[in-house]
Every structure is written in C-alpha cells, then in structure tokens.
A and B are shown apart, each in its own frame.
Chain A
Amino acid sequence: MASASLSIAFTGSGGAGVMTAGQMLLAAAGRAGHYGLMTRSMGPQIRGGESAAFLRLARHPVGAPDDRIDLLVAIDWENVTRFLAELPMDAGGLILADPAQGAVPEGLVAHGPTVGDLPLKETAKSIDGGRANMVALGAAAGIAGIDRAAVDAVVNRALGRKGEAALTAARAAIEAGFAQAREHENGHALAPPETAPAEGTRWNVSGNEATGLGALAGGVRFVAAYPITPATDVLEYLAPRLEKLGGNLVQAEDELASINMVLGAGYGGVPALTATAGPGFALMTEGIGLGIATETPAVVVDVMRGGPSTGIPTKSEQADLDIALSGMHGDAPHVVVAPNAIADCRATTEWAVRLAEALQVPTVVLSDQFMGQARAVLDAPGAAPDVPARRTAAPDDAGTYRRFAVTGDFVSPMALPGTPNGMYTADGLEHDASGAPSTLPEVHAEQLHKRRRKLEVFDYGAFWADVEGDGPAAIITWGSVTGAVREAADRLRADGHAVRVISLRLLLPAQPERLAAALEGVDRVLVVEQTEGAQFHRYLRAWYDLPADVRCLNRPGPLALRPGEIADALKEGAAP
C-alpha cells in the first residue's frame, strides 16, 4: 500500500555525503510533486564525524518529523549510536545497510525492523568515479517510488558544472541504487501527489534562508554580525544578496560591535539587523537596552541552540525565551516575535523589521536551529501584513523640534541625520522630550510610560498568533514546535477529538485580550515547548488568564517533540 508520508534517514560518517544525498532526494521529491522536510543532525567535529539527514516526504505539507522512521539507509555505522534516540525504528521499518560495514547496531533492531543488504561500497567501486552516497540516493528514491526523471534532473542541476564524467558516474551509481531497491521489500512507496503543483508555486528553502529573505523584504539594507552556529547561514545568505540590493553586511569584531553598528545604521535611517545565537544575544543585551532608550529601530535574530553557555551549538532548543523577553536591565519594553514554521520565517522576520521601524524599537526574532537549518519543499511563503513606515520629521524652523515628544500613539517623529532643524542627541541617559538628559522623576516616568505605551496601543492585527480549530481543549505553543503540535491536532481531529491550536507569533508585548478571545470556550490547555525549565509556561502564567486545567509538555533539546507524544499528552489530560 502506498503511504501518504514516508520518513527516510541517511546516516554516515562526515564526508560520506549524507547531506548531499538527503538534499538531492528532497529536491527530487519536490520535482515529482511531493512536499518534504529535511532536518539534520551533526556531531561536534569541525570536519568529519558522524552525521545524519532525516527526510520526511509526503503528499501534504510537512512541518515536523514523524514518530517513526520508515527507511534507514546507512552508508556506514560510524558513531551511529549517538543518533539512536533520533532513529525510532519499529517492525514496519526497513534498514538497508552495507554488509561490509559490519552488523547493524543492536539498538536499531530491538523493535524488529526488516534488515536488507545494500552493498554500497562495492557497487560504488564497480563504477568509475562512483560514490556510495549516490548509490544510497538511488536506492532510497527507488524505494520511495520517486520518478527517475526527477532524480536525474536534480543530479544534472547539482553536478552539471563538475563535467560530463562526474555526471555519468553519478547517474550510473543512482541507476545501480534503483536496481538494488527493486530487490527489497517494497511497501514503502509514496502515494503520488494529489495534483501536480502549478509551475512556480513550490519553493525549496531553509528556515535561515527564509529569515534572510524576510529581512530583505522588510527593507533591511544594513547587517552587522559575528559568526555563530546556527545563525551563520542567515548571514551567508544575506551577504551577497544585500550587495545585489545595494546594501551592506559587515563582519563585526564581536556581538557588542554588531548591535552597536546596527543601532548606528538605524539611527541613520537605514533598516538594520543582526543575527546571532544565545551567547551572542547575551552580549547584545546592553545594546538592545540602548536601542530601547533611544527609540532606535533594530532587529536582532536569535537562532536558538542548546544552552546555557556554549551549550549544544549544533542542536535546537527554545530556551532563550527568558532572556529575549526579560534580559534587558531597567524597564525595557521591546518587541519579541517568533516564526512558527520554515515558511513563516519569511513573513515573521519581515514583520519584525516593519514593527521595529514603525514603533522605533529593537525587535527580537526568535528562530531556532531546528527550523533554521531544516530545508523544506513547501508552498511559496506569504508576506507580512502591512505596517506603517517609520515616521520621520522634517521640522521647518529651528528650535521647536522635540524628538521624544509624547504623541497620541506615543510614537514621535524621528529626524534623520541630514535633516535641517532636526538635530538632537539620541541619549541612553534618561532624557526629556527634547532629548536633553534629565534625572527628574516626572520626566523618567513620562518617558518610560511613553516607551511602553507605544507598543501596547499598537494594533498588531490577526498576525499575533495562528489560531486553528475549536473545541474545549487547546494546545498553546510557539516556535518550531508548532509543526509537531499541528500534526498532533490533525491526528486527534481525525480520531474525532476537537482540539484548538494556538501558536503565538507575537510574544512581547503580550496580548492577554486576544488570547482570552482565542480561548473562549476552552476548559483544558496543554502547553508544549522545548525547554527544561518550562519557560513558555511560566511566561503564559505571568501574562495571561488561563483555565484551571493546564498541563505542560516540556522537554529540553535536542530531541524533537514528536506528534504522537503530543497527541498522547492531550488525551491523557482528558476527563475520563
């Protein structure tokens, strides 16, 4: 029977070409009209070491890994035990491994998957210039039932510039893989797509690329940043594209410099952004406070990884929530938003830039490694809702302009350098409406109030959260975990349980009235998040009214939360 979703893992030591095989399979599946998601797992080694590519191909859009893996193709077994927890193989699963690499590790066969031989090295050796990963790609594509022409098109595109010999070798290796696939148990073919997608409607994009694209769509033309995993890909995407758009990316000497460069550019009127991960974000907090005090637009993307400290740089977690919400000293109102899917990285980052500009405030985008470094075939992402542009000032006579005047909506027109009669000092010292430093209690109270209220009175519209479904039980979540939550909800609904999903995109300023409306009629809540300390649950407790029956499913990274366990957690909480 053909399946609607198929999960495939490739494992191998670094250099075995696991990621290449995975990316090509994803692209080929995309060409054949399927949707797909590829996540990756890497060891700590700089080069080499173990790696694994996890793919899920399906006829519907894919937001999360499945509970189980249907097919594991192992190029070798080097250090594979490190991934055991990420390789749930059951009796329905198939492991194809090279017998020359030794026995299948026990942990993998414990639940009875079928094991088949795939003599990858030997086959590769028999082909001039043949590589084992291309044989593996052919075998996986064959088992998944992916059209050979789609695979060839991807190979041509990827290897075309390497010359005819390389192409011929790759094609022969893939052909050999397809041939071997025929020898193995064959219940795993993907059901064909319901309809062929219209030309140009599907994208192949990673979360970090989508974040970069969203930044540019929002108008960012200046970026300063310091390299850090897993945010570096955002910068690598941005550097050449900014140049094409007439903008600039500066590799700063550290994150203290990054954020201050961004503030300098923002003060100058150019939408500016930096991207980092937890350690860099921690260094930036004083600078973010300066942006808040001086009402300077700035966007800080934090692609979260395991923390605290250096933590687990290559793996995902949602544990920078606390510092993003409240890491700044003093009363420091700002905006925090979080994309909840790869596609959404684009619109949410674009929105963040627009909010920062409109509200003259540092805005934090919380993405994470899982979403950032995952790649998906998906429907072309949408754009952010409209937000008014930065309000600038052009005073017509000297001496009357007051940069921080309290207005009806608390946003004051900002004179950009170069504007006659607009000269003022953006000061991190508390200042009065004109910008002059002041220690007067009434001035402090007025300006603190202004900076808070401008964020509170703004109408963020329906984009504040994704609210889906209805019924008396709700799952409240945020960020990349939303993918697994959505799938859990779909399964529950298919089983006849009504369930609502509320995924918060706007975390600060909190929207208690909107959440109350979204929770109308709900008497039971499950909070789902990827932290050890239940940071999101505590945040919800602090800002919102929740029903009496609230449970929390939280687990630290790097293990992904799977749809099945989320569905189980919701069912467990149900009244008998």
Chain B
Amino acid sequence: MTAPDTRTVTREAKHYKSDVKPVWCPGCGDFAVLTAITKALAQMGIAQEDTAVVTGIGCAARLPGYLNVYGLHGIHGRALPAATGLKLARPELTVLAAGGDGDGFSIGGNHFLHACRRNVDLVYIVMDNEVYGMTKGQASPTTEPDWSESRLTPQGPGVEPFHPLSLALISGANWIGRAFTGDPQTLTHMLVEAVNHPGLAFLHVLSPCVTYRPEQKDWKKTVRREAFTPTEDPVEAQRVLETDDGFNAGVLYHGRRPVYAPAPEATAGMADLDREFVL
C-alpha cells in the first residue's frame, strides 16, 4: 500500500486519535481496535492525512470520529462500496473500511462478497460481537441459533451463523486473519500485515460487547492464539476452516490473487470525443 512517509516527522500513536470521547460502553472491545489502528499507523509511518477510515453504522462503525485521519462515517452496510470508490479514485491513500458484524454480514453482506471478489487494495476490519450493539441487543448473522436474550427472537434466532472467514476465502479476499481485542499486540501486528498485503485484507476481530453479550468476557479463555498457520494455498485454508469453531486466531491466508486497480493513462481529450459525433 502507501510507501512509508520519509518526511522527518515522528509519528506517535496519540497523533492519530481525535479528542472526541467515544460513545462506547466502558470495557467494549472496540477500544482495543481504535488503539491498535493508531499504533499500526504510527508504526508504519503513514501520515494522518494520507489515511482514510470508512465505516457504516453501528457501535463499531463510530470509529472514524475517534481518529485524527480522514473519515467517512456513511450509512448502514455500505462501508465497503464507499471505501472502494475512494480507493479507486485516490489509489495513493491508505484506506481502511470497518464496522460491526451486522453492518458487514447482514445489511452489507452482498458488498462483503463482492469486495472480496473485486479484491481492491483495502483493509476491512469487522469487529464481531455476534450482536447488534447499537440497536440494543438483537441477533446478528454470527449469533448462535439458541441465543435467546433478544426480545425480537425470544426463542433464539433459530438459524445457523455465517462463517465469515469461509465467505471471505471463497469470495476471493487476498488476506484473511482473525484477531482478538484481548490480545492487542497481536491485533496491531496483524493490522500492519493486513495494510501491507496487496488486495482486500479481511481482518475478523473478536470484539466483545460487554453490555449485550457479557458472557463474551470469557473469550479470553476460549480464544486460541496463533492457532492458524498462514498459508498461500486456498484449498489448505479451506480445509483448516472445516474444523474452525470461530475461536482460532492468527493469519489464515495470504494469497496472490490479482488486485483490481485499473489506472488507465489518458490518451485522448474532450475534443476527440466531440469529433466522434460529427457527421
């Protein structure tokens, strides 16, 4: 992606934070993602002004306001298309798209498939808490079928959850990893790797919702660190996912799929186009 900034500026993580106070509940996993982004950007030396963070709607999607980079806090589910338009129009920028699991896999599900397939050079961070936090606790596409805490689905949603990593893999994402907010250092490292890898990098972050899924505080016991061994082979990655229960962390896949980055050189001017119509 963007070459490291060679200007003699010291970049510290705090420079990437804005002074807006997050609306998040104390203990929310999303704080760790915010911090990891600022650390990763500082570490890579990417200038604030050369970075853009694009999100949809949800607790997780509030991210851009808390960062001191260019931000686009758009509409529910549409972070990826907005990020795609920005990156294709301004390929020199480092563009991160981000949001929650409802934003990315439910209302934005179609864009997720097609963004992976299109493989534009973006990072897509999904802060998965298996619930709709912002709308106060409904089931999401990654919620277990028997989770019965929502008044909307008192018997539980009754449908099997999506497997986002599998979807990303079969759809064509070029880098796939899973991180956990309870392991912020690895999260930062993985972010750096995701930014540096060409094409669409999908970072699935297990990010507990302490308010509507308090039991997720136990994830620190369930998550297996570095459980994946990175592979370039999509078939191998697929095989690994067959036994994945959603708690394996690490880089699953880093591929060499062709990146969509059309950059045609101008070869004509308006006068040439006018001439086409002259009788």
Contacts and interface: CB of A to CB of B under 8 A. Distances in A.
Given A244-B266, A423-B48, A216 B273 contact: yes
B11 interface: no
Nearest to B23: A437
Given A423-B49, A425-B64, 15 more contacts: A242-B264, A243-B264, A244-B267, A244-B273, A252-B114, A257-B84, A260-B75, A264-B72, A265-B85, A267-B72, A268-B52, A417-B93, A426-B72, A428-B73, A428-B75
B85 A204 contact: no
A488 B195 CA distance: 63
> Chain B: interface residue count, which band?
35 or more
Contact of A264 (B68, B84, B269, B273): B84
A244 B77 CA distance: 33
Q: Which interface residue of B48, B264, B265 has the most chain A CB atoms within 10 A? A: B264
Q: Which interface residue of B69, B268, B278, B279 has the most chain A CB atoms within 10 A? A: B279
Contacts of A437: 20, 65
Contacts of A260: 74-75, 78, 81-82, 85
Given A244-B266, A244-B268, A428 B65 contact: no
Interface of B: 20, 47-50, 52, 54, 57, 64-65, 68-75, 77-78, 80-90, 92-93, 110-111, 113-114, 262, 264-270, 272-274, 277-279
The SS class assigned to the A binding surface is mixed
A163 to B, nearest CB: 24
Contact of B84 (A242, A261, A419, A422): A261
Given A246-B266, A427-B65, A287 B93 contact: no
B70 A417 contact: yes
Q: Which interface residue of A222, A241, A265, A420 has the most chain B CB atoms within 10 A? A: A265
Interface in A240-285: 241-248, 250, 252-254, 256-258, 260-270, 272
Contact of A426 (B68, B73, B270): B73
Given A246-B265, A261-B85, A203 B279 contact: yes
The SS class assigned to the B binding surface is mixed
Nearest to A298: B85
A213 B269 CA distance: 12
Nearest to B84: A261
A202 interface: yes
A308 interface: no
A209 interface: yes
B110 A253 contact: yes
A375 B18 CA distance: 55
Contact of B90 (A262, A268, A436): A268
A287 B273 contact: no
B55 to A, nearest CB: 9
B184 to A, nearest CB: 23
Contacts of A388: none
Contacts of A268: 52, 85-86, 89-90, 93
Interface string A175-207: 000000000000000000000000010111100
A464 B110 CA distance: 40
